Amino acid sequence: MQDGTSSDIPASEASVRIARLRRWMAEQLHEDGTYATSVPGLTLYRWSHTSSPHYGVYTPSLCVVVQGEKQVWLGRRVLVYNLATYLISSIHVPAQSRVSRATPAEPYLALRIEFQPQELFDVLEAGGARPDSSEPQPGLFVARSDGPLVDAIARYVSLVDSPEDEPFLGPIWRREIFYRVLRGAGGARWARMLMAAGHADPVHRAVRYLAEHFRDPVRIEDLAAMVNMSPSTLHRHFKALTEMSPIQYQKRLRLLEARRILVAGGLSVTEAALSVGYESVSQFTRDYARLFGLPPSKDADRSRLAP
């Protein structure tokens, strides 16, 4: 199943603002890579070629493409975001992604604004949007951009050039971004996720627990009891949110962290396996190869050599 749209944003107020932001980023980013900034939570990206699928963890964040296109796989769902859309992550979600449109002449240009859900509760409670459903919602979704949202994002990004203004204008413009999202096309869905995350929703509590304790042994029965749900209900709602069962989610986080450790170097395969909570190195090796396509040592060597 594919979500999002692969068409470019139509000629509109939003497209004019995107074009200005694109020109600014093209002037700032001359080489491919990931660029941290002094503006809180803001990261910039540039890639001049399409990429192979990459595994990672989406943290709570707003992701915007100003040139090119990106695909994200969440289970069987494929999310596509580009000039016309943005992507929201409400929780820590392991997912696979790739830059699907980029050339040296028109490189992929994107930005990400990380946030804490607590930042949005005041906006939500002040009337930003109303939840549209009590059913569990996926932790990643794509919605259509509009002019006021792009304008708020562009002003926030402009603080890169005027860091002295950030302490005063940054919090205001950041709050406006969240307000515009909550009032826009995806606002009701995001409001639902925020209400769940901020009001001790049992499924979100289970996700947060596993994200923070993925190295620890856990049984679905114990996790369900911890959040006061039956194992079957927790399994169903957890999968609706993450496209994975709790055990699959924990395993994915373990393997991603082990890969990070191995690529960084310094630990053996056995040490990496044990450090992320595996008790059997042979089981770790099988799981690792199944996910990444190569045994741990060979995959780590390949990743270090990749451009």
pLDDT digits (tens, 9 = 90+) for 190-238: 666 665 555 457 888 898 899 999 999 999 999 999 999 999 999 998 9
State residue 9's pLDDT score. 44
User: Which of the two residues, 257 and 139, has the higher pLDDT score?
Assistant: 257
Mean pLDDT, to the nearest integer, of 52-80?
91
Phi–psi pair at 99, nearest 5 degrees: -75, 115
**Separation in Å, CA 193 to CA 28, 123, 163, 179, 186:** 34, 14, 32, 15, 11
State residue 92's pLDDT score. 86
- Which 3-state string (H, E, C) describes the chain? CEEECCCCCCCCHHHHHHHHHHHHHHHHCCCCEEEECCCCCEEEEEECCCCCCEEEEECCEEEEEEECEEEEEECCEEEEECCCEEEEECCCEEEEEEEEECCCCCCEEEEEEECCHHHHHHHHHHHHCCCCCCCCCCCEEEEECCHHHHHHHHHHHHHHCCHHHHHHHHHHHHHHHHHHHHHCCCHHHHHHHHHHHHCCCHHHHHHHHHHHCCCCCCCHHHHHHHCCCCHHHHHHHHHHHHCCCHHHHHHHHHHHHHHHHHHHCCCCHHHHHHHCCCCCHHHHHHHHHHHHCCCHHHHHHHHHHCC
Phi–psi pair at 294, nearest 5 degrees: -145, 155
State residue 160's pLDDT score. 96
Q: Mark 246-258 as b/e (b = at least 16 C-beta within 10 Å).
A: beebbbbbbbbbb
Does the pLDDT of residue 189 top 80, yes or no?
A: no
Strand order from edge to edge, sheet including 42-47:
33-36, 42-47, 108-114, 61-67, 85-89, 140-144
State residue 6's pLDDT score. 43
Q: 34 pairs with which residues across the strands?
A: 45
Q: Which residue in 137, 233, 111 sits closest to 194, CA to CA?
A: 137
Mean predicted lDDT score pLDDT of the chain: 86
Q: How far apart are CA 170 and CA 159, in angstroms?
A: 7
State residue 306's pLDDT score. 56
Does the pLDDT of residue 143 top 70, yes or no?
A: yes
**Separation in Å, CA 80 to CA 72, 107, 203, 239:** 6, 17, 26, 21
Q: What is the pTM of this model?
A: 0.82
Does the pLDDT of residue 8 top 60, yes or no?
A: no
Local confidence band at 10 (pLDDT 50, 70, 90 cut-offs)? very low
Q: What structural domains and CATH numbers belong to the chain? A: 2-197 (2.60.120.10), 201-307 (1.10.10.60)
Say which residues have a Cβ less than 8 Å from residue 70's Cβ, sequence separation at least 6: 63, 80, 81, 82, 87, 97, 98, 99, 100, 108, 110
Tens digit of each residue's pLDDT (9 = 90 or more) over 114-140 = 988 777 767 776 665 555 555 556 778
Which amino acid does the sequence have at 258?
A
